[in-house]
Amino acid sequence: MLELRLVQGSLLKKVLEAIKDLVTDANFDCSATGFSLQAMDSSHVALVALLLRSEGFEHYRCDRNISMGMNLNNMSKMLKCAGNDDIITIKGDDGSDTITFMFESPTQDKIADFEMKLMDIDSEHLGIPEAEYHAIVRMPSAEFSRICKDLSSIGDTVVISVTKEGVKFSTRGDIGAANIVLRQNTTVDKPEEATIIEMNEPVSLTFALRYMNSFTKATPLSSMVTISLSSELPVVVEYKIAEMGYVRFYLAPKIEE
């Protein structure tokens, strides 16, 4: 028996919009810790990890650990039928091959049930250890989205370099080249407008902009994004979900042969 009641149902809608273009099918795992997902894109160079902690739900009942395979496009279709202010409850029965999404309007005058078929998905679960990163950049998520969009009109890849001068996003294409440098800026009115650069050592890595642009679909989830860079590891682009958890995207860098 599974029953997860999320008062701020719009969060789940936003999560699906953030990941459905990157991943087609995925297993959602439900445990005492929370509702989580780990899945790779079809080419296995990017990975998304989602966690919605159990404490973030108004009601959280998960009698045993369960993994439920879902087609994210179908799930998104169903969640789009929920209003932005609706309370969403996810319900499942042991051994059932379906899951039910219940949408309640804030005034309780409209209640809808959407039943979705589950699917068997054979997926590998990777252990992602805590790591020391060469540099961690925390910046407004809308700014990061803007930079990725702007650069993708010039080139296909972005070089992200962190030095003591700041963080530089560079691209090059047939029509020319572009460089955008952000300096640390903590003297802003609101904390969500700050750019904070922690650098242990300089780092410069190249990534496909197509993936970066896909990650920025998570922008509505958080005003800030954290980009963790290390020359030995995939980049981590993290959007925190207020009081609930996170969506983290991992992307393998492009390496010069």
Partner 1 sequence: PCLQRKISDYFEGD
Number of residues that bind partner 1 (CB under 8 A): 24
Q: How far is the CB of 165 from partner 1 (least distance, A)?
A: 25
**What is the Cβ-side half-sphere exposure of residue 74, based on CA atoms within 13 angstroms?**
15
| Smallest separation (angstroms) from partner 1 to the CB of 79 | 26
Q: Which of 175, 193, 176 is nearest to 184 (CA)?
A: 193
For the bound state, the minimum distance from the C-beta of residue 54 to partner 1, rounded and expressed in Å, comes to 20
Give the H/E segment covering residue 141: helix 141-152
By CB under 8 A, tell whether 250 contacts partner 1: yes
Strands 135-140 and 111-117: unpaired
CB of 129 to partner 1, least distance (A): 8
CB 213 within 8 A of CB 190: no
Distances (CA, A) of 168 to 5, 93, 209, 249: 42, 50, 14, 20
Binding mask 34-53 for partner 1 (x = CB under 8 A): ------x--xxxxx------
Q: In this structure, are residues 150 and 180 in contact, taking their beta carbons and an 8 Å threshold?
A: yes
Using CB under 8 A as the binding rule, whether residue 254 contacts partner 1 is answered as: yes
Alpha-carbon distance 17 to 73, whole Å? 9
Query: Judged by CB under 8 A, does residue 234 bind partner 1?
Result: yes
Task: Show the binding pattern over residues 192-221: x = contacts partner 1 (CB under 8 A), - = does not.
Answer: --------------x-x-------------
Nearest to 82 by CA among 57, 100, 94: 100
Residues 105-144, one symbol each (x = binds partner 1 by CB under 8 A, - = not), give -------------------xxxxxx---------------
* In the complex, minimum distance from the CB of residue 224 to partner 1, in angstroms, rounded to a whole number: 24
Residue with smaller CB distance to partner 1, 175 or 255: 255
Least distance between partner 1 and beta carbon 29 (Å): 11
Asked if 174 interacts with partner 1 (CB under 8 A), we say no
Query: What SS3 state is found at 248?
Result: strand
Contact indicator for 134, 202 with CB cutoff of 8 Å: yes
166/173 with CB nearer partner 1: 173
- Cα Rg for the chain, rounded, in angstroms? 19
Considering the rule CB under 8 A, would residue 66 count as an interface residue with partner 1? no
Strand partners, 40: 47
Residues that bind partner 1 (CB under 8 A): 40, 43-47, 124-129, 157, 206, 208, 233-234, 250, 252-257
